[in-house]
Every structure is written in structure tokens, then in C-alpha cells.
Chains A and B, each alone.
Chain A
């Protein structure tokens, strides 16, 4: 008999009794016995406050990072280990597999805190529900699986980011705001987002690193990808794709490299006291001297910066272009850090940064560090979340 502690909202099951059961000789000695009785199951379901499951079979996944994880089934414990073991899902995928393979259906009950790191599946399995009162902390590796599983994960389960960078978990605590696909699509060269956080949105750093993933093509006009400046006071720096080149220009001077033949690609620009470099897909492709002077009003523009052309953005890659996972550091990142950033389109920040706009996995139309949104209700600006 498994008691239910209704007064505990974070872990409904009495953990002491549960752990006793999962580690007891009784469990291991009676693998063929249906350990979780129908009555127990009802108790669990009742504790979960969600609507009762339609499935008669359950597998319980419980644990935490320090004690490890167990998958408890009517066949006994089928998984015991850490989140890096097995499928890299803290046993959750193993529980799904067990129910699918044995019954073709069932309910996975999560109790505890989970840090999955991989995505062995990226579409919801049939006839499986995930319930319980656990917390799943996903990272870029596990996001594809758990975002795709959202339709079968009950609302009682919290899904947060594995590390509390900026305001990410503040947002996710209130809303499951996930998307597997990027949700900011620029459908032409005229659209842009403008980030204003005071008059100098990103400060006036003497060294910085910009990282972003680009899906688009060079423009016949200015082809701005990212720029820092204002229409009123001019440009501090800009990254453009024009004449089949990637160009990083300062207030004076510029460096350039051939536009990559394959899109999307990862782009990094570093700048340190007059010395700049461009990295494509983790490799340095250009370097040189430029100067950056900051005007009084300086905002970060994403895509079009209509200072020389109203159609000053990147050409579309297909029917749209994407400039995503934009990260801005006020330091110069090491080549290994840059390499890490180029490893995945949703790669997390590698150190402390001052601006981060992700666009996929977490839907948020603004800076995830400060929580400040884009100014975008002017003419030619981006019109809203698509």
C-alpha cells in the first residue's frame, strides 16, 4: 500500500515509503507480482489532481540528481541510474518503452526532479500519458523530445530550463512557452526588430562577442543581419550580408569574408579595442582593424536597419529568413567557446552574457536576460509573433 501525502504539493507520494518499496527485497523477490495495486493507482491519480488516466498500466519514474533515478514497474525496477545513463532521459524514455513494449499503452508517473540531456524520440508515442508531480529541467539536448511530448505531459508537471539563465524559468514557471521551430520569421528585407534598453541598449563595451545563427541570403542592398545604432545618430557597428560577403563594419573600417555556401550557418563576430574577427561555423574567416564609436542613442537592430535602404535586411533563405539564438557578450570568447556555440543551433550561452534571444525552444519576443521586449510597432517593423 502506498500512502498519499496530500498535504505535500511538490511530491504527493510519501517518499519514504516509496523509496522503501523501490529498494525492498519484496520488490525484487516478486517481480511477477503486480506491486502497484489498483487502489494505489487511484490514490496516486487522486493526488495528482489531474483528470484520471484512461490507462490501466503505469510505470513510476522517481528520483533526483543526487540519489539517481528508478523506474518502477510491475516487472520490478527496470532502470536505475543517472540522467546520463541509458537513453539520457533519467529513465523516462525507458519507462515509455517498457509500457509500449509490454502493453502498447500506459501512464508514466514522474515523481522528483529530472534533468534529461538527450532526445531519443521527437514525437509523442501513441497511447502514453505522462503524469505525476515531477519537474523536468530540459536542456538543448533534451528539448526536442520533451517539447514534442508536451501534448501528453500533464499540466501538473513543471517543465523548466536546466539552468536559470536570465528570466527563463521565471517565464516557464508561468507558461509552457515552447516551440520546436523558430517563431520569428522575417518574410522580407523590410522587417526588423529593435531592442532598446535605455539609450545604449547593449552598453558601450570596448570588447564584445556576437553570436547568432543565420538562415538567409546576401542582399542586393545593405543586407543588415545585426546592427547597433540608431537612425537618428548613426551606426556603431553592423553585420551585413551583401555582394556575397559577410561584412562586419565599425564606425570606420570593415572586414569581410565570403558568404557561406550552406545555410543555416553559425556566425560569430569578436571585437576587442579595434581588432575584429569573423567566425563562420566555429572557424575564423576574417580579421582586421576597425573602430567602433558609440552614438548617444544606440539600439540593437535585428534584420533591417533602414538607415541606407528601407529594404535593408537579409534576403530570405526560402520564403523567410531567420536570425536566431542571438547572444551578446561583453567579453571576447575563446575559440573553444566559439566552437561550442557553433555546435548546435540552440546552444546555450557559454558564459555570462548581456543579451540572449533564442527564438526556438523557448518562445519569448525579447531579451531573455533582462526580460525587455523588442520595440517593434513602428512602420516597417516586425508585426508580431507568427
Chain B
């Protein structure tokens, strides 16, 4: 039987909290009463105000499972009527039993010692049908973490509306399901694991910041100006973004490895300024996505490995920009089976250039070992004439929009194959006025070498020029519209 706390005097209410008064005591006594059942299933009916005090209001120790559930939708509003200068978070957790398990003996073992220390054996903290609002100066309404970097905390947020920030560390499984964040920061930080965000909406400057290794964001919506963002953090590795919708919002990484963005829609429809900004990681994969007026910038690549961009459409001002850090090497870049569809002043081109080393000026001294550009289609969908714009690099360097494919970095091997370079219908470079070509190599600094092995095979090029230095040799076979 759940324990009901309400600001309404219904006959089934266990703890009545008059509107506007402090619900702290009711919540704490409800937790105590929950020991009758071994699980704290607390129903929040109506709106509860929790007055900040010097102590954390809800210290969830490892004695109960916790399910805080709104009746329809319950609200907890964390307020600071006493104007405390130092406000603790509303919710924190205890960890004594998990700490103890770090020291369990191996003798007569029934559980692997690491497993015993790692697992909380199904300890659940769940919030359902709740609206959490924080009106205190404390930045985080929930702060949790475990000692010893254990990845042990399981949280379930089901249909929770966040008007408050949360900061969870050392997570095990965390599920955000059907949640809503408004100007809220959901941060899953140090030594976290296994986050799933499914069917959630982030808007109005909200962000989902992720450090877990192993996470997925499925069917979520990120809407608003570019301060609404999905942020896989420095070690937010091994994450997937699948079937999401971005409108004006941003994906920005800080070095997350193995990020896969799949079947996701990026369109600046209602809002402007959205972008995809992946940086410093390896093995990025962007597959089956749609970009409309959305630049994709993958920058400061310095740790080898690969970048894989396949089966996407880049429409109406959606450039694909890949930048390699000075003096570093990316093993391969594969751009496969995409549509790059430009219109005047909103070109969708490929730019491959460089990023400066931290604290240095740009040298363009990075290298791509292997570049595959294959099975792509490049068109001017408007069939009308107009300007195309390049991309601003660091230190006022600019890689120009001379061609559908623009390179300003050293490449060892480049295979340009099976592409369709439709006639440009009068698209021209904004600064030179020259017609858009199908390929350009721009030696913006002397560090940019000619492509050591440049091959064009099986392409169709409808009379678009190629802009390469006179010293650039290449091999072209089985093409239409490219001189051998």
C-alpha cells in the first residue's frame, strides 16, 4: 500500500501538508513508515513545498527501495523561504552497505568479490509522474555519488518533468523515460555507466550531459536555441543517438569516443542555430541522418582511428566539416552514400581541413591517411545560380567553397569513386566568383601537401571544374566528365 502525501484532505491521505507549508516532516516520516513494507512507495498528490534546511531533506540510504510517484502528476517544489546562504540538495544517497561489500571475504564465495562490491543487487530509486522544481540557490536538486568509483546506482525517471538540475555520479543503469526538461541540466557524471534516455524532450536551454561509458539516447527531442544541447562529456564514450529530433539544438562533445548518431533528424525548423559539433573523439559514426540547414563539424581529431559518415542527406546549408589537429593523423575518413544538396547561399559541401593544437595557431599540418568519398550525390537542388560560402577555420584561415569537395589538409590516399557531381547550375564561390567545381585542394599553408595518391574512379561529373595545384597528380579512370 503506498503512502500518500498530499496538499488535499482526501480520506486516503496519510500525511496532509497544507498548501504552501513545509512537507519535509511528512516526507521523512513517510520514509520511516515505509519500513513496514521494505519499499518506500510514496505517492505525491498535488503540490508539495519542501523548505530548504541545513540538512539534505531526503537522504536515501540503502535500507529501502524508493519510488516517488505523483498521483497523475505530483509536484515537489524546493524552496528557500528562510534565505539560507548554503542550501544542500534535496536528495542525496547513502552507501554504507555498498562500501562494506568492497571488503567482503572471498572465502566460501557465492558472489564474485568485484561483483559484490559493484552491484547494489537491484537497489531502485525511481521517480514517476513527478514535476521537480528548484527555486533555491542550490544548483542541483539531486546529487548522488558512490565512493570507490563504483558504477552502482540505478535510477528510474519515468514521466518526470525537470524544472531542476540533477547531478548523478557513479551511476549504474539510469533510465530517463518520457521525461521533460525545461531550462534544466541533467548531468550524469564521473564514473557513470549505462544511461538510457528514451522518448524525452529537452527544450528552453536544457541539456543532457553524459559522461557514462555506454549510453543511448533514443527517440528524444532537443528543441530550442543552441543552448539546448546533448553533451556527451569528456569520457561519455560508447554512446548512441538513435531516432532523435533536433530543432535548433546542438550535439556537442568533449572527446567522447565511439559516438554513433543514427537515423536522427536535424532541422532548424522552428528555431535557428542548431549544429552538430563533435570534437576530439574517435570512431564517430553518423549514419542515416537528415541534416537540413545544420552544419556538422567534426574537429580537433588527433587520435587516429576513423570517421564514418554514411547514407545521410545534407540539405540546404548543411556542410560536413572535418578538421584534423595539427601534427596529428586520422587513419581514415569514409564518406559514403550521402546526398549533398545545395541551394544558393545555403551550400552543403564537404570541407576537410585542420584544427590548431591547443594554445597554438593553426598550421594545417595534420594528415589524413585514407579518404574514401564514394557513392555520394552532389546537387544544386534549386537549379538556380547563387553564391556558395566556405568555412572559417582558426586564425582567420578560411577554406573556400570552391567545389563540392574541398580539401585543405594533407592526404596520403584518396579514393573519390562512384559519385555523381551534378552540374552546379550556376553556383559560384562567393569570393572569387568562380563556378563550383567537383573537387578542390587548397594549400592554405605550405604544410598542406598535395594528395600523394589521388584517384577518381567511376564518377559522373557534369562539367564541373576541378581546382587543384598544378603540381597535383591524380589518376582518373572509368569516369564520365573527368579528364584522365
Contact = CB atoms under 8 A, between A and B. Distances in A.
Interface of A: 167, 170-171, 174-175, 177, 190, 194, 196, 221, 230-232, 299, 306-312, 363-366, 371-381, 383-385
Interface residues of B, number: 41
Interface in B93-128: 94, 96-111, 115-117, 119-123
A297 to B, nearest CB: 8
Interface stretch (B29-37, B343-351, B377-385): B29-37
Given A308-B107, A379-B111, A381-B121, A373 B97 contact: no
5 contacts: A231-B103, A307-B105, A310-B106, A380-B101, A385-B38
Interface in B23-71: 29, 32-33, 35-39, 61-65
Contacts of A385: 37-38
Interface in B1-41: 1, 3, 14, 29, 32-33, 35-39
Given A174-B3, A375-B61, A378-B120, 20 more contacts: A170-B32, A171-B32, A171-B33, A231-B102, A231-B104, A231-B105, A232-B100, A364-B36, A371-B32, A375-B100, A376-B62, A377-B98, A377-B123, A378-B98, A378-B101, A379-B117, A379-B120, A380-B111, A380-B116, A383-B122
B101 A379 contact: yes
Contacts of B65: 377, 384
B62 A310 contact: no
A306 B107 CA distance: 9
A378 B101 CA distance: 7
Contacts of B36: 171, 175, 177, 363-365
B14 A174 contact: yes
Contacts of B99: 232
A175 B1 contact: yes
Nearest to B99: A232
- Indicate the member of B3, B37, B117, B123 with the most A CB atoms within 10 Å: B37
A194 B96 CA distance: 9
Given A232-B99, A364-B35, A379 B108 contact: no
A363 B35 CA distance: 8
A64 to B, nearest CB: 27
A232 B103 contact: yes
Contacts of B62: 375-378
A373 B39 CA distance: 11
Contacts of B115: 379
Given A231-B100, A363-B36, A381-B97, A375 B63 contact: yes
A41 to B, nearest CB: 24
Contacts of B32: 167, 170-171, 371
- Indicate the member of B14, B105, B117, B120 with the most A CB atoms within 10 Å: B105
Interface in B118-176: 119-123
A378 B110 CA distance: 14
A220 B37 CA distance: 33
A287 B269 CA distance: 83
A375 B98 CA distance: 9
A372 B59 CA distance: 12
B63 A174 contact: no
Contacts of B33: 171, 174-175
Nearest to A379: B116
A379 B104 contact: yes
- Indicate the member of A170, A174, A379 with the most B CB atoms within 10 Å: A379
A310 B100 contact: no
Which secondary structure dominates chain B's binding surface? Answer: loop
Contacts of A170: 29, 32
Interface of B: 1, 3, 14, 29, 32-33, 35-39, 61-65, 94, 96-111, 115-117, 119-123
B63 to A, nearest CB: 3
A371 B120 CA distance: 23
A311 B100 contact: no
Given A306-B104, A385-B37, A376 B111 contact: no
Nearest to A195: B63
B37 A377 contact: no
B110 A190 contact: yes
Nearest to A368: B35
Contacts of B64: 373
Contacts of A383: 121-122
A345 B35 CA distance: 22
B38 A365 contact: yes
A365 B38 CA distance: 6
A378 B63 contact: no
Ranked nearest first, the 10 interchain pairs of A and B with the lowest CB-CB distance are A373-B63, A378-B97, A231-B103, A377-B123, A379-B116, A385-B38, A375-B97, A377-B62, A177-B36, A378-B101
B14 to A, nearest CB: 6
Contacts of B37: 385
Contacts of B63: 365-366, 372-377
B98 to A, nearest CB: 5
A384 B115 CA distance: 20
Contact of A379 (B1, B96, B105, B121): B121
B36 to A, nearest CB: 4
B363 to A, nearest CB: 54
- Indicate the member of B14, B32, B97, B102 with the most A CB atoms within 10 Å: B97
A202 B123 CA distance: 25
Contacts of B38: 365, 384-385
Given A194-B100, A376-B97, A371 B108 contact: no
B119 A309 contact: no
- Indicate the member of B33, B61, B116, B120 with the most A CB atoms within 10 Å: B33
- Indicate the member of A221, A311, A366 with the most B CB atoms within 10 Å: A366
A325 to B, nearest CB: 17
A48 to B, nearest CB: 14
Given A177-B36, A364-B35, A385-B37, A378 B105 contact: no
B96 A310 contact: no
Contacts of B110: 190, 310-311, 380
A321 B150 CA distance: 32
A167 B99 CA distance: 29
Contacts of B98: 377-378
Contacts of A371: 32, 35
B101 A373 contact: no
A196 B3 CA distance: 24
Nearest to B107: A309
B5 to A, nearest CB: 12
A312 B123 CA distance: 23
B39 A384 contact: yes
A230 B100 contact: yes
A205 B1 CA distance: 39
A311 B108 contact: yes
Contacts of B39: 384
Nearest to A167: B32
A177 B3 CA distance: 13
A366 B38 CA distance: 9
B121 A377 contact: yes
Contacts of B97: 194, 196, 375-378, 381
Contacts of A308: 105, 107
A377 B122 contact: yes
Nearest to B30: A174
Contacts of A366: 35, 63
A377 B120 contact: yes
Nearest to B61: A375
A311 B108 CA distance: 6
